[in-house]
Structure 1
């Protein structure tokens, strides 16, 4: 989080009022929208931790999703200097709260995705890294670290449609199977002494469609995150035949943490 926050702050340090009015890489959002949103996320996570420290939970955003959207729209038209100041204040508040955590505090419950404080920290990390790319100020997804890509592979497995297993094969990294249903990643049971044996979980996966996606880890992660990867590096296959990249489910913002 500290490194991602520092990088994000560096990306916006010299933005002018004209720059923040310019379009971001997110459809319909200016850079000002992105800055207001990230400030809102940081403030929301700080609030989650402040309540968790008292043994309480609180809605992620004041006013719920309507309050979130209203704050983004109102913030998007502010000056670059004011947006930077509000983002700095929110990040300072959030990072200070995370720095002061004890070991046991990371598992305190919060309302975000029905999870714990650690889930909130991972969320802030995701927001800073991905939206740092969305700003379109020079940062590309190909700079995402292997650790961040691995994290996205796990978190975004919730986007894999039912009835599908997605086998991602990043160059230079171990392949892994992604599925919204953990059982769909199971392998057949070993044959018994009395002949072949198939467990019930494997029977359930018999009709599961498996698609393999090969390419750079950063491109696979960008695609899973709904961003534009280097499509030339990605190849999808099913039953050894080339196929189109599958359509994924929406971002898992409303899916409880596991």
Structure 2
């Protein structure tokens, strides 16, 4: 069962962790490349701020973004800002998200995200936690997938395995973490089933497009190529 209050607390901790790390940088660090192709760290920080505002829109019943073009333009506009402006924006948008979440009258209602995707309002805090946690790793400043909370890793693997279930380009795939946890995904591409195993952070990295899967073991076929998120 989703516990939005617990997820909001975990999100607050993750946000503070990222802000504390970023506060030690200088302006040159913001302009350096992140791990996301074509994005600087400034792009990542700008995206996180604008995503918080977008999820406030969702909570309050407005479209998440005015358009895909507007979303991209806003990130490009905000990416070159100096560190102090980036940090102030992140803090302010985190507070706006917190205030909007505190005013939610019904967490069980269905909300609309990007591209017509719908979900329970109760999942929004976790979705925001995912944005903050994975993009903290993308900043490439020493925070790695192995540093993520175990609960977070398992839940995001749960989500991604479900997301790729039945996908027409992904074969039936059994996933096994070294600690014994298992998942299944794919199944839409036909052919023989494939087994993929390894440490949970490596599995998450592969599913989330953050690692190439070379540290994973496969059985029954090559490592499936996953579609972009």
Q: 1:180 to 1:152 in 2, by over 3 A?
A: farther
Tell me what 2:129 maps to: 125
* Cα deviation digits, residues 78-136 of structure 1 (max 9, x gap): 1111011111100111122224445xx21223221212212322210110010000001
Residues 137 and 145 of structure 2 are in contact (CA less than 8 Å); yes or no, is this contact kept in structure 1? yes
Please say if 1:68 is aligned against 2:71. yes
Please say if 1:145 is aligned against 2:149. yes
SS at match of 1:213: strand
Q: 1:180 to 1:101 in 2, by over 3 A?
A: farther
Tell me what 1:114 maps to: 118
* Cα deviation digits, residues 158-203 of structure 1 (max 9, x gap): 235426222111011321212377xxxxxxxxxxxxxxxxxxxxxx
Tell me what 1:192 maps to: none
Please say if 1:244 is aligned against 2:227. no
Please list, as runs of the form range in 1=range in 2, the aligned pairs for 1:44-193 lying within 5 A after superposition.
Answer: 44-49=54-59, 51=60, 57-61=61-65, 63-101=66-104, 105-112=106-113, 113-157=117-161, 158-159=163-164, 161-162=167-168, 164-179=171-186
> Could you state the TM-score of these two structures normalised by the residue count of structure 1?
0.76
CA distance in 1, matches of 2:197, 2:24: 38
CA distance in 1, matches of 2:128, 2:156: 13
Please say if 1:222 is aligned against 2:180. no
SS at match of 1:246: coil
SS at match of 1:177: strand
Residues 156 and 224 of structure 1 are in contact (CA less than 8 Å); yes or no, is this contact kept in structure 2? yes
Give the Å deviation of 1:208: 4.8
* Cα deviation digits, residues 197-253 of structure 1 (max 9, x gap): xxxxxxxx9x55311111000100011000026733x10111xxxx432100120xx
Larger Rg belongs to: 1
SS at match of 1:245: coil
Aligned residue-pair number? 213
> Could you state the TM-score of these two structures normalised by the residue count of structure 2?
0.85
CA distance in 2, matches of 1:121, 1:107: 13
Q: 1:32 to 1:71 in 2, by over 3 A?
A: same
SS at match of 2:53: helix
Q: 1:212 to 1:230 in 2, by over 3 A?
A: closer
Residues 164 and 185 of structure 2 are in contact (CA less than 8 Å); yes or no, is this contact kept in structure 1? no
